[in-house]
A = this chain, B = another copy of it.
C-alpha cells in the first residue's frame, strides 16, 4: 500500500538516489580556501608554507591569482632528497606547470571533481574561473581548492543523513 507518511520514490533504486545526489552537489559548495605561493618562492619556503597552512598541495600563481602551476608534498619530498640547495631552488622548477595542471570549475559537480582526482592520481585540484578583462583566454584565476579531504568530509556528512 501507499505509505501514509513521508516521501516515496517511484522507479528509483537506492543507487540511483545516491548518484543523483552526488551529481547535484557543486564544487563551489564544498571547496576550501586556496594556499598560493609565487613562482620565485624557494622550495624551502614552500615546504614551510605547507606546514604552517597544513595543506598537502600549493598553487603557484602570478599577479592577479593567475594559475602558473601546482606543487605537492610528493614533489617537495622528492626534491629534498635530490641534494640540491632547497634555499636557492625556486618552486617553479619542480612544480607541474600549466597547461598540464588538472583543474575544476565551481559549477562542476563534486562527482566530476572526484573522478578527476582518481583518474589523474592527484590529491588536490585548483578551483578556477576564466581570468577577467585584459587576460588571455587561456588564463585561469584560482578561487579555491578541492581535495580528497573535502570529498571524505562530504562523505561523512552524507552519512549523517544531511
Contact = CB atoms under 8 A, between A and B. Distances in A.
Interface of A: 1-3, 5-23, 44, 47, 50-51, 56, 73-74, 76-78, 80-81, 110-111, 114-115, 117-118, 123, 148-149, 151-156, 158-162
Interface of A is mostly: helix
B76 A16 contact: no
Contacts of A152: 114, 117-118, 148, 151-152
This protein's copies in its complex:
2
Contact of A115 (B7, B110, B156): B156
Question: Residue among A149, A158, A162 with the most chain B CB within 10 A?
Answer: A158
Contact of A149 (B12, B76, B148): B148
A111 B151 CA distance: 12
Contact of A73 (B44, B74, B154, B162): B74
A114 to B, nearest CB: 5
Nearest to A5: B11
